[in-house]
Structure 1
């Protein structure tokens, strides 16, 4: 008996450090210690880093092209009757590129199934429940995109940014009650600095900024607030479907969750959101506006098509990163990374566009610093036994 117990005592210390960092804010620690498995990828750092890169690159390019689009169609010259033209189009651009995800989804699914060909118990997929959930997520995605597009055209972009930053607060609230996430001091510090980062980007210029005659503070403020609520609810619901449906069909077997789950959620939810946005676009008659904008685009029809296609592709890169962070860690980190990317966009807008009175000022510099502090604080909570200096050295 003594010989049989020795190998068991040697294997547990090797598994313990690998599993705890990823699940420190989750309720799966007990399960991990008992069965030696997790509903998150064990080698999570490459996934996290790649997802963060996708968020930064996707969101930055998409918003730069959005500014380019509004700048070239001379949005400042629009009259009040055409103030909200294109809001369904902007919502559509955030999801219409989902067919690009089909190929990586198929490749990852086949690769995952190839490595899991040993005999396993039958898996329950809950098709009906997943279908209903994907429809709900798709509705939230389309509503969020439409509200955000409308809010930016109704109120000054600085006011929109301040209100929209409240998404971090709502994400924390929803994550606590929906996803049962436990917060420690480092996560709270990270959220505080992320909120400060979002607020400091309020002086960023925007190509679709309304003039004084077009400003509609009641409508724009409510749109910005509910857009933030929808985005927070969206992330928490995505984590909920991953935890309670997709991951459960792997925890009950010897299979490990695959990143293909990210593409699965996005493809089906985006399909629903795209259908809703297309219907809204047709009802609003925006298809006629698209033809007019293409003909009147300052840089020509080719540039117009490239700007629209570029936005659609960039948003898909962004969504893969956002949902990838939910898959790897949590909805809270996903929203933190999304918000702290804003200062990067703010600086690049100054570089690439010549908007009036917009320059790289002290606030933009401070926002970049607080963004870094927010990210470091969140990831430092994964290694609570290290000092901040040791953590930065090891992370590098």
Structure 2
């Protein structure tokens, strides 16, 4: 009987998606039946949509951010605000999601709001550190150090989320990190590494900022995963949107406070007037950047809820080599062999991670079939 109970608990751990609600004991059986089995075709389709949101959102947001600076934008606080300022738009899809059922477990607000506030403040300062680090460092050095976020996430995932590591996952993390690092080193050869406007003596500060920002980003993603697992204990779209919106509203408040306190808001009218092609393009560029960042962020949080924070970070890292390739067509950058190799390495590392999840899904499916067969041949009723 003890063995049968253990098997049943393992089956209940397989469903991952639309929602595993818990009632304080074993969980809702109805929710378990509605959930999508990890590794199934439907599960992979939903994960593919999330990955597409991350890749497209990150790429578009990065390219629009570069367009902002190329066209005359210069406010670091404004650039920071666009990374979280689009969060009020999430109210629309949030209102369109199904209302929670009466039996759905709802965490106490006294637990959730401190989490929203703490993670939101971390996001706000993380965005700020990235913005200022890019001002103080050459692009090549910035990209090289920023690639460490995946390695940091591997550590935080192990310590906070008990992430299981296999040879394929380790290979994926290493190859993707080297891909981003190669891209950073290679950028010095195509004229994108110069930072003549950076203040003298700020190199060490910039290096420390981007390193701290990478570690903070990894910590934020692991905290998201821990919140879903231990506090919310549900994976619905409604909770994903709520988590994303409230934390980013706090991050936006941090950015607005910094914009006002620094006095940068006084330079916005002049910056808008001097922007290439006028005020309308200035507004559209910032609005498009904010929307793209929110699309990417929602995809990241959904991947964290469905799979893991490390998988979400692997997907986000895959976007790094895509940006320079698209910049060749959009901004006239020069295509180099290093960019091609970095992109191929990123694809290889990403496919290694995806294949590991495919193997895990197949193994879970075989275990499920064996247990079902054992239950069908047994007259004993397992406890609920």
On the 8 A contact 2:80/2:128 being kept in 1, the answer is: yes
TM-score (norm 1): 0.79
Task: Say which of 184, 202, 216 aligns to 1:230.
Answer: 216
Structure 2 runs not aligned, ≥5 long: 18-24, 363-384
Local SS of the residue matching 1:383: helix
Compared with structure 1, are the counterparts of its residues 21 and 246 closer, same or farther at alpha carbon in structure 2 (3 Å cutoff)? closer
Structure 1 runs not aligned, ≥5 long: 1-8, 24-30, 76-84, 251-256, 388-396
On the 8 A contact 1:153/1:208 being kept in 2, the answer is: no
Task: Say which of 126, 141, 147 aligns to 1:144.
Answer: 126
1:150-196: per-residue Cα shift (whole Å, max 9, x none)?
Answer: 01111100101111111111101111111111111111111011101
On the 8 A contact 1:47/1:328 being kept in 2, the answer is: no
RMSD: 3.0
Q: Following the alignment from structure 2 to structure 1, what is the Cα–Cα distance between the partners of residues 293 and 147?
A: 19
On the 8 A contact 1:41/1:328 being kept in 2, the answer is: no
On the 8 A contact 1:67/1:206 being kept in 2, the answer is: no
Local SS of the residue matching 1:360: coil
Compared with structure 1, are the counterparts of its residues 222 and 269 closer, same or farther at alpha carbon in structure 2 (3 Å cutoff)? same
Deviation of 1:45 after TM superposition, in Å, equals: 1.6
Deviation of 1:106 after TM superposition, in Å, equals: 1.9
Q: Following the alignment from structure 1 to structure 2, what is the Cα–Cα distance between the partners of residues 274 and 194?
A: 30
Deviation of 1:124 after TM superposition, in Å, equals: 4.6
1:211 paired with 2:178, answer no
Q: Following the alignment from structure 1 to structure 2, what is the Cα–Cα distance between the partners of residues 151 and 103?
A: 34
On the 8 A contact 1:162/1:198 being kept in 2, the answer is: yes
Deviation of 1:292 after TM superposition, in Å, equals: 1.3
- Number of residue pairs matched by the alignment: 340
Local SS of the residue matching 1:298: coil
TM-score (norm 2): 0.81
1:62-81: per-residue Cα shift (whole Å, max 9, x none)?
Answer: 111111111111x7xxxxxx
Q: Following the alignment from structure 1 to structure 2, what is the Cα–Cα distance between the partners of residues 184 and 160?
A: 29
Task: Say which of 162, 168, 171 aligns to 2:144.
Answer: 162
On the 8 A contact 1:62/1:310 being kept in 2, the answer is: yes
Local SS of the residue matching 2:358: coil
Local SS of the residue matching 1:382: helix
Q: Following the alignment from structure 1 to structure 2, what is the Cα–Cα distance between the partners of residues 47 and 236?
A: 21
Compared with structure 1, are the counterparts of its residues 181 and 38 closer, same or farther at alpha carbon in structure 2 (3 Å cutoff)? farther
Local SS of the residue matching 1:228: helix
On the 8 A contact 1:69/1:307 being kept in 2, the answer is: yes
Q: Following the alignment from structure 1 to structure 2, what is the Cα–Cα distance between the partners of residues 39 and 184?
A: 30
Compared with structure 1, are the counterparts of its residues 241 and 214 closer, same or farther at alpha carbon in structure 2 (3 Å cutoff)? same
1:306 aligns with: 284
Deviation of 1:222 after TM superposition, in Å, equals: 0.8
2:374 aligns with: none
Question: What are the residue-to-residue correspondences of 1:97-176 with 2, within 5 Å?
Answer: 97-110=86-99, 113=100, 116=101, 120=103, 123-176=105-158
Compared with structure 1, are the counterparts of its residues 41 and 149 closer, same or farther at alpha carbon in structure 2 (3 Å cutoff)? farther
